[in-house]
Structure 1
C-alpha cells in the first residue's frame, strides 16, 4: 500500500532532483551557430528544461504552494534577463509553462515575451508542405519533416496561450497542426504513432513506433484538449485517436509495468520517461471517463515501474537521452541512458495524477 503522503513526498524529491541536474560533459550537442547546447542542466533553455518546467508548473497548480511558484518565476526571471536562443521547435518548449504561469497570475512581466514568441512561431518557423511546422531544432534543420515531438513542444503552447489570451487564431493553428500530425504520423495498423514523416520522399523513416514519441501524444492529447478548450468534432476525433493508441499500449505493456523504447520490440530496453508519460495519460483518461478501468490498471502498473526507477536523490533513472530521427530501428536501441528534465517532469505528471485518483493506492513498490 502506498499512501498519498508518500506520493507527495516523492513528488517533492522529484522537483529537487530536477533542479539539481547538471551537465557533466558526457554529451556535447553543438548548435547550428556553433555554440554549445545544454540539454541536461535545469538552468538551460531548451526542450528538456521546457518539459521540466511544464511538469513543475502543473505540480504548482496542483499544490498551490508558494515555493513552487517562486521556483518557476525565478527561473524565468533569470532566463529572460539573458539573450534568449533563436526560436525553433525545441526552444519554444519553455513557453508552455510560462503561458500557464501568466494565465494563473496575469503578471504583466510575462505577457511581452509570450506575445513575441507566439509571433515568431506563427510567422518565422519554417513550414513543410501543407504548412506543417517543420521540426527545425537548435542543431538540425530537418527540411520537410514532421515529428511527433512538435505537438508537445509547440502546439500545446499555442493552444493554451491562444485560449487564455483571447487569441483564437493561435488555437486554430494549434488544431490544424495537431490534425496534420495525426494524418501523417498515425500507424493505422496498430493505432500507435510513428516518430516522423518526411515530405522529401514521403515516408515514415524507420517506421519506428518509438515509445517516448508515442508518450508525447498520450501525455499531451488530453492536455491539449484541456489547455485549448477544444470541443465538438475535433475533440471527439482526438479522443478516438487516444483510445486506439491506448488499446495498443495495453497489448505491449511489459509485466513490470514499463514499456520498451521501441514499443513493439521486446529486444529494446525498458524506458522510464515514456512509461511515465503513458501512465499519466492512461490514468488521466480513466479519471475523466474517456478510457476504461483497464487503462487505470495499466497506469498504476506504470506508476509502480516508475517509482522503482527513482533513486534516493529523487533522480529518475533509465531515461533515454534526446533522440534524433532514426533511419533504422537499431538507432533507437542504441540511444544512451541519461537523467534529464523531461524524465523528471513526466514522472511528476504521473505521480500528481496518481494522487488525484485515490488517497491510498495498492502497488508492489517497496516502501
Structure 2
C-alpha cells in the first residue's frame, strides 16, 4: 500500500525501486544525449500531437469503431505517461478532453469488458484518475479491472472460460501471448491507482501460468498453443507486459523471481536476434522476414526499462536499446506516422501467413510503442 500511495503522490516508479531507477538513470550514458531531432522528448511530442488529432480508429479499416479498440487504448495510455514525465499539463488536458464525451452521449464507445482486448481500456481511466484525481475515472477503471476476476459472463464466454476461472485464473484467459499485456496492464494500473495488492498479485499469478504454458527453452514465445512461430508483436506484448508488471510488483511477491527469470531469459535471446541496424523482424528468428516497427518498439521499451531498473546489464543492453531507438525513429514519416507496422494478426499455424502480413502506415499498434519508449527513456 505504501509504495502505491507514493506512486500516486507524484512519482512513476515504486518506492522500493525508485533508488535503483535513479541510480541507473544517472549512469546510463547512452540515454543522456541524442542527435538533434531524435530525443525522446522531441519524438514523443510529435507522436502525441499526432494522436490528439487522430479520430477513434477501427484497426486501420475504414469507418469508426463501435467501441474503442485496444491499439487506441495503448496509444492513449502511452501519451498520458509521456505527458506525465514531461510535465505537459496542456497535453494531459487534451487527452482528458478526448475522454469527456465518454461520460455522456458517446458512452457506448467504452468497450464492454468481456475480453482481454477490450478490458485493457481500463488502463486509460486509471491513468487519468492518478493524474487528475477525478473519481469518475477510478469508477470506470475499477469496474473493468474487477470484471476480469468475476464469474464468466457475456458473449465471449467459452468452455475454457469456466475451466480457467475454476483454477483461480481470469475467465478471460485464452493463452495467446498478447494477453500478457492486455491483462497485466489494467491490473497493474489498478494496483497503482488503488494500492490494493489483490490486483497485481493476481496478475503475477496469471503471468506465471502463461510463462509455464508458452515460453520456449530459448526464452521466446509461440503465438499460441499449436502455432509454433515467434511472431514479433506477439512476443512484444509479452516483453512489455513482463517489464510493466515487474516495475510495480512488490519485492515480496512469491512469483516475482519466476517472472524475472522469464523476462531475463527472453531479453537475452532478443539481444541475439537484433539486426545490425537495431531493428527486429516480423518473425524474430527468420532472417527472410521483414523488419517490423511495432515489435521493435516493444522490445526497445523492455530493454530500456530493464536497464533503468537494474535488471539487465547496462553495458550490453543500453547500447542495444539506443541503437534500436535511433533505428526505429527513421520509420516516422512526415505526417508523424510510423511505417512498416504489421497489420492486425490472428493466430494461424501457417508460416506464410505470418511472412505475408501487410505493412501498415500510421497503425496505432506502431504509434503506441514509440510513446512507451519515450516515456521509459525519460522516466
Question: 2:92 corresponds to which residue?
Answer: 69
- Once the two structures are superposed, the pairs formed by residues 5-44 of structure 1 within 5 Å of their partners are 6-7=38-39, 8-21=41-54, 28=61, 38=65
Question: 2:174 corresponds to which residue?
Answer: 145
SS of the equivalent of 2:342 reads coil
Between the aligned partners of 1:223 and 1:85, the Cα distance in structure 2 is 23
Question: 2:128 corresponds to which residue?
Answer: 101
Question: 2:34 corresponds to which residue?
Answer: 2
CA offsets, 1:148-181, max 9 Å, x none?
1112112221122135314333223212211111
Question: 1:317 corresponds to which residue?
Answer: 339
Between the aligned partners of 1:6 and 1:246, the Cα distance in structure 2 is 24
Distance 1:118 1:288, change over 3 A: closer
Task: From 188, 191, 203, give the equivalent of 1:159.
Answer: 188
**Which sits farther off after the overlay, 204-213 or 1-10?**
1-10
**Which sits farther off after the overlay, 106-115 or 283-292?**
106-115
Distance 1:38 1:294, change over 3 A: farther
**Which sits farther off after the overlay, 119-128 or 99-108?**
119-128
Task: From 288, 292, 295, give the equivalent of 2:317.
Answer: 295
SS of the equivalent of 2:175 reads strand
The 8 Å contact of residues 47 and 90 in structure 1, kept in 2 or not, is answered as yes
Question: 1:195 corresponds to which residue?
Answer: 223
TM-score, normalised to structure 1's length? 0.82
Between the aligned partners of 1:168 and 1:206, the Cα distance in structure 2 is 34
Between the aligned partners of 1:183 and 1:105, the Cα distance in structure 2 is 39
- Once the two structures are superposed, the pairs formed by residues 149-298 of structure 1 within 5 Å of their partners are 149-188=178-217, 190-196=218-224, 204-229=225-250, 231-292=252-313, 293-298=315-320
CA drift of 1:122 comes to 1.8
CA offsets, 1:83-109, max 9 Å, x none?
233222111122112212213432112
CA drift of 1:37 comes to 6.8
The 8 Å contact of residues 279 and 291 in structure 2, kept in 1 or not, is answered as yes
Between the aligned partners of 2:278 and 2:101, the Cα distance in structure 1 is 39
SS of the equivalent of 1:331 reads helix
Between the aligned partners of 1:239 and 1:345, the Cα distance in structure 2 is 24
CA drift of 1:259 comes to 0.7
Question: 2:370 corresponds to which residue?
Answer: 347
Mark the runs of 5 or more structure 1 residues left unpaired by the alignment: 30-35, 136-143, 197-203, 357-367
Distance 1:281 1:337, change over 3 A: same
Distance 1:259 1:226, change over 3 A: same
CA offsets, 1:325-356, max 9 Å, x none?
12212211122122222311101121333345
Question: 2:28 corresponds to which residue?
Answer: none
Distance 1:355 1:163, change over 3 A: closer
Between the aligned partners of 1:281 and 1:101, the Cα distance in structure 2 is 23
Mark the runs of 5 or more structure 2 residues left unpaired by the alignment: 1-32
Tell me how many residue pairs correspond in the alignment. Answer: 330
**Which sits farther off after the overlay, 177-186 or 103-112?**
103-112
**Which sits farther off after the overlay, 112-121 or 282-291?**
112-121
Distance 1:156 1:355, change over 3 A: closer
SS of the equivalent of 1:239 reads helix
The 8 Å contact of residues 57 and 72 in structure 2, kept in 1 or not, is answered as no
Between the aligned partners of 1:37 and 1:324, the Cα distance in structure 2 is 21
Question: 1:140 corresponds to which residue?
Answer: none
RMSD: 2.6
